[in-house]
Amino acid sequence: HQPVHLQEYQPPAYQVSHTELTFDLDPAATRVSARLDMTRHPEAASDAPLFLHGEYLTLHSLALDGTVLDEGDYRLVEGGLEIARVPERFVLESVVEIAPCENTALEGLYQSSGMYCTQCEAEGFRRITYYPDRPDVMATFKVTVIGDKAKSPVLLANGNPVERGELDGGRHFVTWEDPHPKPSYLFALVAGELYKVEDGFTTQSGRDVTLQIWVEEENLDKTAHAMASLKRAMRWDEETYGREYDLDLFMIVAVNDFNMGAMENKGLNIFNSAAVLTHPHTATDQAFQRVESIVAHEYFHNWSGNRVTCRDWFQLSLKEGFTVFRDQCFSADVNSAPVKRIEDVAFFRTAQFAEDAGPTAHPVRPDHYIEITNFYTLTIYEKGAEVVRMLCNLIGAEAFRRGSDLYFERFDGQAVTIEDFVACMAEVSGADLTQFMRWYAQAGTPEIDAYGEYDYVHGEYRLTLRQRTPATPGQPFKKPLHIPVRLGLVGTKSGQDLRLTLAGESLGTDGVIHLREEEQTFVFTEVAEAPVPSLLRDFSAPVKLHFPYSREELAFLLTHDSDGFNRWDAGQRLAMLALDDLIAAHRNGVEKVMDSRVVEAFRLLLTTPMEDKAVLAEMLTLPSEAYIAEQQPLVDVDAIHAAREFVRQSLALALRDEFLALYEDNQSQEAYAPTPEQIGQRSVKNVALAYLMAIDDDQGLAYCQAQFDANHNMTDVRQALTLLVHSEHNHLAAPALKAFGEKWAHDPLVMDQWFTIQVTRPQSDALERVEHLMQHPAFSLKNPNKVRALIGAFAQNRINFHRLDGKGYALLADVVIELNRLNPDVAARMLTPLTRWQRFDDARQALMRQALERIKAEPLSANVYEVIEKALA
Ligand code: HT7
Ligand code: ZN
């Protein structure tokens, strides 16, 4: 398992200008014939050997310019095939055989519920045929798919269908042409018994595009939301980025077995069924919103990724960070913008910060990797998006749009680098982004220690900011970053944002200061009253900000800050201070006392009308156990759980009537629609119900059971079932679970929810339930959704996964060992919780390391090997 280094990048010695493929499909013996038109790179040596990637292929024949090559003319080497001498221009033909039915890694061509499908990003195409499988080799493709007419009536590939016909032996074929040059990772093929829903979209220039969503027959009624989302995304990209779709046909296919959410193959997006199928009876509001954002994300890749792609995989965030930023802005525009930001940041600060603080920390642009699949991470995606957001805020939205226009125009049809993208932004804005580039190179979460002083005599507010980025593996020393800090000064008397004057320049009432040095003091003049600073508004940079706020100041910001995000954050900080005290009390065996300031802050929230109910729901939600753990120097799993439960119950006891009223006021009999208004109403109602269930309130319990029985929509049913199963009312939970399981036994996506609800319960039998459910006929280790729903969800059940007898760790290790054989990508991802062992007490550290060592002793895939090596380094 050797690492690849960014520094060693070399352009390909040979390009492919046109690729023709014929697939003769068979589960155990698919024949792939390839014809590649190849040309030597002008700068490559005339004796440069030709290397083609290839893995898990059985070679049948190879011919160069029509002459069959025998075994002396080429060499089969590790990871591919080499031909020592080739002409400047030539045609290479090959025939190989592959076995899709044996492919449990779900990379390359595989079978899912009887259909054939492909996943080629990042390096899956080399499992299909011999090819220069790298993103800087771009070709036009013509693909013929031959299949059994009865079993595979539908045969799809990228681009437009140009020919179809019947063949002997009950077989048929369809030929597809994709006129846009593309790298091999965007190739796709699907074949099977599929049914389509069709719609249309007229582009801004008046071209008609046919839109198709292909699914299994029983899912035809679950496509409407994805189709509506697709049309919204197409319009948004035209209006916001001036980007128009470029083929006559856009297809989405839903498959049940898929390693990630979806894949942006040119004209033929392949989706995990969980990321496309929705129905009010089977999918929650959260799932509806996830589908909308993933459909948009994949569609946006058509420009940010497909038309302009990555030179090499170190540049992955070029397409992923930018596209996540684009999908975040889209979701904010079509839903509640503040809630979208709060949700994204809450997730980011929990999960990406943890990644940045662990042994697998890496920069947004890593400089080496062993297995690129391990680098589809929160850092590449989400931190990459935060970096693009900072760029946008630094140069302004208008310049950012000019920069993106320039980028798409200048690099259309090319494979480029992050520098190319940033250079466009610098060119249109005149900004010096040299220091900013460090965001791409330095791993770790920067921390800012801030303090402020108000000088009554001179009317000045002095704000000092000091930045440091902790050491991460391979990067002991960090340089100062260019950090944009958006801020306001909220007057303590007026409760209003004060005018900001810095070095004689007016910044309005909501400005951005630029922290570039290790330490800088910003002196605001003409400050008429003592302020409370509202810092890092809208989370203007992906950093940890420490400011010695008093609880009174936080309560003040919670009600007075004009920035919605920081109002929410003030509430989270206030709750965190109370939680810190309670964690200490639990550890020291001291009686826990609830902070009345938190209760009063919640009372105010509950009694002040708030228009955006989804925001209210967020504000009433306590920091998660995972987030609280992130804030602790040493994670005390039990103390965190006990402290959070204590706060939940104290709030529910003190504000029982208010929560009851909130629940009752937000009941609705309207027909389900995933609108921001309805989602907000359901969120707030279900948050209230959770508080009532935390204290065993009779009325709350009755409402919970009634909500389950009413069976109005999956959001409400799932919440009611979860609250019952996570309560001590087994006599109510057991029949509800049974009824739900029987009713939805035929629907894999609902069964995923059924699994998750059971293994996330806080009671001590959660692990035994996992063991039991792993034997359930609906569970399979070969299906990534099932693995995530059962094993992944259990690993998030912190008090049970981190049991002191080590059984949680042992169970995960057993699963990873099994998955390492079946699906290395998913195996490596499942390992993540064990890699964070340094954060726990000695006893747990020893048990977690023991589990890691046991995995290490196995013959490992590159994916698992790389993660284990880092975790145990
Ligand atoms: N660009 C897509 C990446 C992806 C992927 C990567 C590795 C293994 C399986 C995969 N499936 C999809 C997803 C996206 O960011 O849109
Ligand atoms: Zn993506």
* pLDDT greater than 90 at residue 669: no
Record the pTM: 0.98
- 263 CA from centroid of ligand 1 (Å): 5
Among 20, 107, 121, 298, the active-site one is 298
- Average pLDDT for 76-90: 97
Residue burial 763-780, b: 16+ Cβ < 10 Å; e: rest: eeebbebbeebbeeebbb
Which bound ligand lies closest to the C-alpha atom of 322? 2
Q: What is the rounded CA–CA span in Å between residue 128 and residue 259?
A: 18
**Is the distance from CB of 463 to CB of 533 less than 8 angstroms?**
yes
Ligand 1: residues with CB < 6 A are 119, 121-122, 259-260, 262-264, 297-298, 301, 320, 373, 376, 825
Question: How many residues are recorded in the chain?
Answer: 873
Domains of the chain, CATH where assigned: 1-193 (2.60.40.1730), 194-307 (3.30.2010.30), 309-441 (1.10.390.10), 447-541 (2.60.40.1840), 744-873 (1.25.50.10)
**Is the distance from CB of 108 to CB of 128 less than 8 angstroms?**
yes
**Is the distance from CB of 120 to CB of 108 less than 8 angstroms?**
yes
- Dig out the tokens for 296 from the structure: 């948009």
**Is the distance from CB of 352 to CB of 328 less than 8 angstroms?**
no
Residue percentage of the chain with pLDDT more than 70: 100
Q: What is the rounded CA–CA span in Å between residue 510 and residue 535?
A: 10
**Is the distance from CB of 46 to CB of 40 less than 8 angstroms?**
yes
- 262 CA from centroid of ligand 1 (Å): 6
Which bound ligand lies closest to the C-alpha atom of 263? 1
Q: Which of 279, 252, 257 is nearest to 268 (CA)?
A: 252
**Other C-beta atoms within 10 Å of 168: how many?**
5
Spell out which residues have Cβ within 5 A of ligand 2, the ion: 320, 323
Give the closest residue (by CA) to ligand 1 atom 12: 263
Residue 475 is given by DSSP the state B
At 747, which amino acid appears? D
The pLDDT tens digits for 499-509 are 999 999 999 99
Place of tokens 């982004």: 433
ipTM of the complex: 0.99
The pLDDT tens digits for 539-594 are 999 999 999 999 999 999 999 999 999 999 999 999 999 999 999 999 999 999 99
The pLDDT tens digits for 149-191 are 999 999 999 999 999 999 999 999 999 999 999 999 999 999 9
* pLDDT greater than 90 at residue 772: yes
Is 55 marked active-site?
Answer: no
* pLDDT greater than 90 at residue 314: yes
The pLDDT tens digits for 372-397 are 999 999 999 999 999 999 999 999 99
pLDDT the model gives residue 94:
98
Mutate to test the pocket of ligand 1, among 106, 117, 263, 378 (most ligand atoms within 8 A of CB): 263
* pLDDT greater than 90 at residue 330: yes
Mutate to test the pocket of ligand 1, among 260, 324, 380 (most ligand atoms within 8 A of CB): 260
- Average pLDDT for 603-616: 94
- pLDDT-derived band at 82, boundaries 50, 70, 90: very high
**DSSP per-residue codes, 195-257:** EEEEEEEE-TTS-EEEEEEEE-GGGGGG-HHHHHHHHHHHHHHHHHH-----SSEEEEEEES-
> What is the distance, to the nearest Å, from the Cα of residue 776 to the centroid of all Cα atoms in its chain?
29
pLDDT the model gives residue 460:
98
- 789 CA from centroid of ligand 2 (Å): 22
- Average pLDDT for 813-840: 98
The pLDDT tens digits for 265-287 are 999 999 999 999 999 999 999 99
Q: What is the rounded CA–CA span in Å between residue 196 and residue 481?
A: 50
- 296 CA from centroid of ligand 1 (Å): 14
* pLDDT greater than 90 at residue 207: yes
pLDDT the model gives residue 240:
98
- pLDDT-derived band at 647, boundaries 50, 70, 90: very high
- 393 CA from centroid of ligand 2 (Å): 22
**Pairing mode, if any, of strands 531-535 and 483-491?**
antiparallel
**DSSP per-residue codes, 738-780:** HHHHHHTTT-HHHHHHHHHHHHT-SSTTHHHHHHHHTTSTT--
* pLDDT greater than 90 at residue 35: yes
> What is the distance, to the nearest Å, from the Cα of residue 552 to the centroid of all Cα atoms in its chain?
36
